[in-house]
Amino acid sequence: MTPFHPSRRRWLLGAAAVGATAAADLLPGAPLATLARAADGFQDFFEGPPVKDYPLRRISDHVWMVWTPDGFPTPENQGMMANVVFVVTRDGVVVLDSGGSLQIGRMAIRRIRTVTDRPVVAVFNSHYHGDHWLGNQAFREAYGEQLPIYALPECMREIAGVQGNLWRSLLERWTNGATLGTQIVAPNRPVEPGATMRFGDVTLRLHHYGAAHTPCDLCVEVVEDRVTHVGDVAMHRRIANMDDGSYVGTFRTFDALEANTRTRVWIPGHGDAGADLLRENRELFEGIYRPCEQAVKDGVPLEQAKALVLADPRVRKYAATTQGFESNIGKYTSLAYLEAERESF
């Protein structure tokens, strides 16, 4: 793999700046937004370097995972911090989350082709955070404009709107430009919770139970294999981003998934798959949320809630092995406290 040297980053950004200047020369008097779009299009001309091949893990008879040990995007991992899962069916391959860039999507396709020569016939996006769908472009590039890319309707709107542009920019910044060239390819087929879809010899059942990690999380059950891909509703050894989510909604989703599936293995968007994933996530989240809930009931102010959370044995159990714990526990305690206040009314 050719390293993405900082000097190349500076050259690319300089070229993009030249593009902006050229746009201004070609479009004198044009509004700033028009010039920005022109410069952005010029930047699309450049691409970051390829992503190295990541390991494959076979989860069950039909299900495989392109696995990454990293929980957060860096220049070194080029944004590869979310698992790409695929299901090999008699009719073709179904992809569950496409990765965080054009380059990651291309790498995932290379890995899929080491398992089967069947084409990808569908992609599902679990939610609107870009590390899970910015790879859509690679799959459309390889399998055609009409490739079905499925998501919940609200997720489709978010990706086609503010979240799409936001996440594309964030991944470029976090990786020092390694994801350059990635374009927004939004899902093109809406799905509804409770739907069952058949792909050859495999049945997929779709689950959504309200806001959890985000307002529009799609969990995909591979019925015959008793495996469910939960996206970021649950993570392994990583503290979940709850900025757009709900602790109470996450507990509700866990309850519903356990009641409505016969799952033996849960696959997260980040970390390892396993039978205990929901139980472990529930334990950590209960350790964060319940002390905040009690603090609200007792009139304990927010400033003192973090100490209560850190003292909880459920939190102490997972703190040392959870990526991002130290940098995020303060914020997620605040989010839990604010949600407990809303729930108390």
Residue 37 above 90 pLDDT? no
pLDDT at 241: 82
Going from N- to C-terminal start, the domains of the chain cover 6-44, 56-191+199-275, 282-344
Structural contact between residues 181 and 47, judged by C-beta atoms closer than 8 angstroms? yes
In angstroms, the CA 286 to CA 265 distance is 22
pLDDT digits (tens, 9 = 90+) for 131-149: 999 999 999 999 999 999 9
Structural contact between residues 232 and 129, judged by C-beta atoms closer than 8 angstroms? yes
Question: What average pLDDT is seen over the chain?
Answer: 90
**More confident of the two residues 148 and 32:** 148
pLDDT at 264: 98
Average pLDDT of the segment spanning 292-316? 97
Q: How many CB atoms lie within 10 A of CB 240?
A: 24
Residue 182 above 70 pLDDT? yes
Average pLDDT of the segment spanning 55-59? 97
In angstroms, the CA 227 to CA 263 distance is 5
**More confident of the two residues 251 and 21:** 251
Contacts of 225 (CB under 8 A, 6+ apart): 59, 60, 61, 62, 63, 202, 265
Residue 203 above 50 pLDDT? yes
pLDDT at 335: 97
Percentage, residues of the chain above pLDDT 90:
84
In angstroms, the CA 135 to CA 337 distance is 35
CA distances from 142 to 146, 225, 323 (A): 11, 28, 34
**140 phi and psi angles, rounded to 5 deg:** -65, -40
Q: What pairing do the DSSP bridges indicate for beta strands 196-199 and 120-124?
A: unpaired
pLDDT digits (tens, 9 = 90+) for 207-248: 999 999 999 999 999 999 999 999 999 999 998 789 999 999
pLDDT digits (tens, 9 = 90+) for 2-30: 344 443 444 344 444 333 333 334 344 54
Asked whether the CA dihedral 117, 121, 124, 130 is positive or negative, the reply is: positive
Structural contact between residues 309 and 275, judged by C-beta atoms closer than 8 angstroms? no
Average pLDDT of the segment spanning 70-98? 97
In angstroms, the CA 287 to CA 316 distance is 9
Read off the pTM: 0.87
Average pLDDT of the segment spanning 329-344? 96
In angstroms, the CA 13 to CA 319 distance is 39
pLDDT at 29: 53
CATH 3.60.15.10 fits 56-191+199-275, yes or no: yes
